[in-house]
């Protein structure tokens, strides 16, 4: 499978057969949404403007913004609700976590998770290979909380998302406080697309992706 980073919390997940899922397309966040992004499915973790701009995506796609088990083409995925904050949703409500199985690779997108990591959360996610993890704090877990998710879910690859970059008009922390919690030899920087397949190395990698 191919993983393309479109910016903020938005990725395109593409199977070998060409089926494409786009996650959390963003609206006016100061970053232009890439042109010509097509999808067969669009997932929305919650209805905030920086995660639900489905009109930016092209194609005859289905939108998934509820809990359940789904399939689009050769991609199977599921979702469950958690909290967007650390006070039981009283501040920011609910958030959907999506887990995808694509070409034998299990990818989890945490959306705007704000609740602290727990063993019950780990059980709901299950074993995964790739974790798309918010790290910028303020509206989600911060660097310390994100590190607990990276350690607790123990994927082979962690891709940070939802953090401050040049041009972003949302007040978030940058990615560096998160990266500083990992050995330098485990951190890699990649341009907009990476290809993922099994088997994965035992040592966890943190891959910081430059958006397309």
Q: What share of the chain is helix, strand, coil (3-state, %, to 5)?
A: 15, 35, 50
The model's pLDDT over 193-212, given as tens digits with 9 standing for 90+, comes to 999 999 999 999 999 999 98
pLDDT for the residue numbered 122:
98
Name every residue whose Cβ is closer than 8 Å to that of residue 12 and which is 6 or more positions away in sequence: 2, 3, 4, 6, 20, 21, 22, 37, 39
Q: What percent of the chain has pLDDT over 70?
A: 100
Q: Residue 132's pLDDT is what?
A: 98
Distance (Å, whole) CA 2 – CA 28: 26
Q: Kindly report the backbone phi and psi dihedral angles of residue 123, in degrees, each rounded to the nearest multiple of 5, phi listed first.
A: -65, -35
Q: Looking at residue 160, what is its pLDDT?
A: 98
Q: Label residue 4 by pLDDT band (50, 70, 90).
A: very high
* Tokens describing residue 149: 């998710």
pLDDT band at 23 (very low <50, low <70, confident <90, very high): very high
Mean pLDDT of all residues belonging to the chain:
97
Identify the three-state secondary structure at position 21.
Answer: strand
Q: Which pLDDT belongs to residue 150?
A: 98
Query: The dihedral of CA 180, 188, 212, 193: what is its sign?
Result: negative
CATH class of 2-209: alpha beta
Provide the pLDDT confidence category of residue 21 given band limits of 50, 70 and 90.
very high
Q: How confident is the model over 78-84, as a mean pLDDT?
A: 96
Query: 54: which DSSP letter?
Result: G
């Amino acid at each position: 499978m191919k993983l393309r980073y479109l910016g903020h919390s938005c990725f395109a997940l593409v199977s070998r057969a060409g089926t494409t899922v786009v996650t959390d397309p963003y609206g006016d966040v100061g970053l232009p949404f890439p042109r010509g992004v097509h999808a067969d499915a669009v997932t929305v973790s919650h209805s905030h403007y920086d995660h639900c701009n489905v009109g930016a995506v092209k194609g005859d796609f289905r939108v998934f913004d509820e809990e359940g088990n789904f399939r689009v083409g050769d991609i199977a995925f599921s979702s469950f609700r958690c909290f967007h904050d650390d006070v039981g949703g009283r501040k920011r409500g609910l958030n959907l976590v999506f887990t995808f199985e694509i070409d034998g690779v299990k990818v989890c997108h945490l959306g705007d998770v704000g609740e602290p990591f727990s063993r019950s959360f780990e059980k709901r996610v299950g074993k995964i290979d790739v974790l798309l993890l918010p790290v910028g704090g303020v509206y989600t877990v911060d660097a310390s909380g994100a590190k607990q998710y990276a350690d607790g879910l123990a994927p082979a690859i962690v891709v940070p998302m939802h953090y401050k970059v040049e041009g972003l008009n949302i007040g978030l922390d940058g990615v560096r406080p998160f990266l500083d919690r990992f050995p330098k030899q485990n951190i890699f920087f990649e341009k907009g697309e990476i290809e993922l397949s099994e088997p994965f190395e035992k040592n966890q990698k943190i891959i910081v992706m430059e958006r397309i």
